[in-house]
Structure 1
């Protein structure tokens, strides 16, 4: 007990001296906290129906931008010229004039309009500091802005929080000392945290790392980079299961300024009903505040993404059915409002489906990854909420209605059908590398003649010229590929409502493994007499 008291006292003195030394000798870098840049509505001057007589109104701006600098604030300018009303929303440095006016009231949580008569009889400007606060413009004097707390509060609150943290650390040292003699230095505790009541027999369940200690992950090489993050191959310090499935993991690392993308993907993964063999397996989400990084930890698949795999490999018919079926089943599971056992599930639209976002496992099965742009399709979502999701995705794989920004926001199924179009392009990629279609060309993505196309060039190709990836005549000679091509064409139809659903395509894929799809130029009725009716029907269709 005397040794225990000495240990606790030593811990308290160490914490106190460290805090004192840090306060007296902190470097300029440590004194300057990392500040996230703001999210503001950011649209050029455009027509608006927002009127001062309404008291307040919402701007019709669908673009949300991360400000370039942390000291910038959200600002809006409202102007009426006769019967025409225009609104401008921007990120702006308050130290610089905005329309010739120095912003003095930017320390607000709401955007309260102030009239500037010298700019015109009906010219109003507002500024504020909350996320996207310049979306709602307040004209009524009854709706006064909520000022940020006074300086005394700003000082007292952090001091109080630090005091609580210090007491918590003292308590932690005490508890840690008590337990030190009882705990063994192994991975059993970490495993017990990762394994919950939802655990499958063959994998570790989805889990958000709420523990104060981060998982013992050692980063290895970078294996991929995207718009928002980079992916590392990594190793857990010790095995997380008896067979060591997740000893090697993938860590997707976001900078703090990409919090929105990290949080979107994290929230998608946190739905336990998302778990599926054709969805990449999620392990943990962590905040690394010291390094100012955000982590998502998932299963690692050494074969990489589907696009790179197809570039280096040819497929036979069985592999085509397996890989294509896996992609379809993954999309169908995302879109479904039921899980595999009939439980309620929130549908998810991926919104960036492409071969780069499909991983190939060791057994050559596939799983879908990268949910940074995904959306959970709740039935009670309003048109405004859906509209604010904006025009996202990769231009090469975007459906016609997305390219033209004419998605039907009255129906959440529209988001799913846009995914189906993208899925059709991925199926075309897989089919183009199958040996049963005849002589194979070098791999190329859909619309391969276009190099890194933008939205405008894709609009010209897909909408104006009504082009789709080429399906050669030789593909039709194989009965199975012929039926698959017909499905692909139905999935990339110009009309979203005419496209097949992912669940329908999944059901049809289940018929692709039978003997009716052996290569043949004619149908022998004697050979088909013992086949299931669905396979005979498909065989006749393909011939």
Structure 2
């Protein structure tokens, strides 16, 4: 009996050890074993573990793999006839033998009888005649309208579209209305579809190239390996639901590719040939009306970032943290859009979650608010980050007003505090000027002689308050500029009536 009891105890001990070993691998317990196959070489022994197995065919490139439950709706719903085929399944290795659906056979040819050909020919002739008549009537209406408005019929009309035909491209690929970029599986093939044409900008964090995709120019921001966290952060934020806005740089896709045995991180966005606001202010001047419209467009973009949208597909509030003229692009119609969200902070009221990311990069010292420079900012409060954006917004407005012509007078472009600190100021130098001496950018007397610019100057000064809580909100800035624009339109209409 003693020997049997000892044997039972030994068996129980072995069973306990086996149970511990099983629980040690709980991380993969319950996950599917899926067949894994792609050209990027990310598969381990031809398999991977996840919640969902998938087979995809994108641009004739087959892939097999797995992904977690939370992306099921986005990925499994991205099939598009003739462009993307996606099949998801939920059993072990269920994707191993998946194949694309067979191409439907063309319908058999039928001989055309004379009694079919004649009516079709008559319908075609009638349709061509009707289209020609409609085009002629439309041209006559346009001609009359131009004459009525006093227009010059010989003047060539400049293309005034805000963007190229990106809207048509997104209509073709995106039907969810979520306001993010292309579907995830399409994004993963973008680097193979884009042809790089020319380098249009370089910085300490990488290069920006003009590329061609589907006949349209796109901007390709290629991040250096040391700024990988900025690429991850921008990708994460640009994929935020309902972020798309006229005054936020349009996001297309994010992808990685290999070149010369090194990995390149690509962020693909809309391309604006005028470049950044910094570039535009270098070689061109503004009139007060243009200055007002550009200031208002930047404020509108910042309002959209700062505002949380509550809906089934909501948008969290976002603070930029590196707002400056180099991170604002100018469209063909002189509207501005905010770019470079690599340092952005995200906040959701429902969960009171503040996501500051883990990017070691810091903002631009020249545009830093006093509380950032003297390190008194409350880093656990989202409103603090919004208030630093408002400080930087005031400096951007100052840059634009400096290049605005009033009574034939305009100043050359200079960055904020150009006459107080060197070209690459240190943290300590900016702290002394902004916090200790409480200096602000100088304002030319001509700005006070024009009603539009004097109003913008008043807004700027309220954005530069030493006390963060006393600064205007982005919404207040937008409303003040909108009212100023309306009042200006009324004045112009009144002048026309007097004439």
Q: Provide closer, same or farther for how the CA distance between residues 267 and 322 of structure 1 changes in structure 2, counting only shifts above 3 A.
A: same
Alpha-carbon distance, 1:180 to partner: 11
Name the counterpart of 2:197. 220
1:206–1:272 contact (8 Å) kept in structure 2: no
Name the counterpart of 2:176. 197
Tell me the SS of whatever aligns to 1:304: coil
Residue 232 in structure 1 maps to residue 209 in structure 2:
yes
1:207–1:285 contact (8 Å) kept in structure 2: no
Name the counterpart of 1:127. none
What CA distance in whole angstroms lies between the structure 2 residues aligned with 1:169 and 1:443? 52
Name the counterpart of 2:317. 347
- Segment drifting more, 501-510 vs 389-398: 389-398
Q: Provide closer, same or farther for how the CA distance between residues 310 and 342 of structure 1 changes in structure 2, counting only shifts above 3 A.
A: farther
Alpha-carbon distance, 1:172 to partner: 9.1
Name the counterpart of 1:321. 292
Alpha-carbon distance, 1:337 to partner: 1.3
Alpha-carbon distance, 1:293 to partner: 1.0
2:218–2:269 contact (8 Å) kept in structure 1: yes
What is the TM-score of this pair, normalised by structure 2?
0.62
1:401–1:407 contact (8 Å) kept in structure 2: yes
Alpha-carbon distance, 1:344 to partner: 3.8
Alpha-carbon distance, 1:468 to partner: 0.9
What CA distance in whole angstroms lies between the structure 2 residues aligned with 1:326 and 1:159? 43
Name the counterpart of 2:451. 479
Q: Provide closer, same or farther for how the CA distance between residues 488 and 359 of structure 1 changes in structure 2, counting only shifts above 3 A.
A: same
What CA distance in whole angstroms lies between the structure 2 residues aligned with 1:192 and 1:310? 34
What CA distance in whole angstroms lies between the structure 2 residues aligned with 1:386 and 1:418? 14
**Cα deviations across residues 159-202 of structure 1 (Å, max 9, x unaligned)?**
9823338x9879899846955999xxxxxxx97873222178xx
Residue 429 in structure 1 maps to residue 403 in structure 2:
no
What CA distance in whole angstroms lies between the structure 2 residues aligned with 1:363 and 1:225? 25
Q: CA RMSD in A?
A: 3.8
Q: Provide closer, same or farther for how the CA distance between residues 517 and 474 of structure 1 changes in structure 2, counting only shifts above 3 A.
A: farther
Tell me the SS of whatever aligns to 2:209: strand
Equivalent residue in structure 2 for 1:206, among 176, 181, 185: 181
What CA distance in whole angstroms lies between the structure 1 residues aligned with 2:488 and 2:248? 30
What CA distance in whole angstroms lies between the structure 1 residues aligned with 2:175 and 2:241? 11
Equivalent residue in structure 2 for 1:164, among 47, 55, 61: 47
Equivalent residue in structure 1 for 2:390, among 407, 420, 426: 420
Equivalent residue in structure 2 for 1:280, among 246, 249, 263: 249
Equivalent residue in structure 2 for 1:496, among 440, 451, 468: 468
Tell me the SS of whatever aligns to 1:504: helix
Q: Provide closer, same or farther for how the CA distance between residues 177 and 461 of structure 1 changes in structure 2, counting only shifts above 3 A.
A: same
Residue 253 in structure 1 maps to residue 222 in structure 2:
yes
Alpha-carbon distance, 1:466 to partner: 1.0
What CA distance in whole angstroms lies between the structure 2 residues aligned with 1:335 and 1:515? 26
Q: Provide closer, same or farther for how the CA distance between residues 181 and 507 of structure 1 changes in structure 2, counting only shifts above 3 A.
A: same
Equivalent residue in structure 1 for 2:435, among 443, 463, 476: 463
2:390–2:473 contact (8 Å) kept in structure 1: yes
Tell me the SS of whatever aligns to 1:448: coil
Tell me the SS of whatever aligns to 2:45: helix
What CA distance in whole angstroms lies between the structure 2 residues aligned with 1:164 and 1:179? 29
Equivalent residue in structure 2 for 1:310, among 237, 256, 281: 281
State the aligned residue count: 348
Residue 511 in structure 1 maps to residue 483 in structure 2:
yes
Name the counterpart of 1:42. none
**Cα deviations across residues 214-249 of structure 1 (Å, max 9, x unaligned)?**
35100111111233221100001x24xxxxxxx110
Tell me the SS of whatever aligns to 2:333: coil
Tell me the SS of whatever aligns to 1:294: strand
- Segment drifting more, 328-337 vs 388-397: 388-397
Alpha-carbon distance, 1:342 to partner: 11
Q: Structure 2 stretches of 5 or more lacking a match?
A: 1-23, 28-35, 49-54, 56-61, 65-94, 107-168
What CA distance in whole angstroms lies between the structure 2 residues aligned with 1:485 and 1:363? 24
What CA distance in whole angstroms lies between the structure 2 residues aligned with 1:419 and 1:484? 17
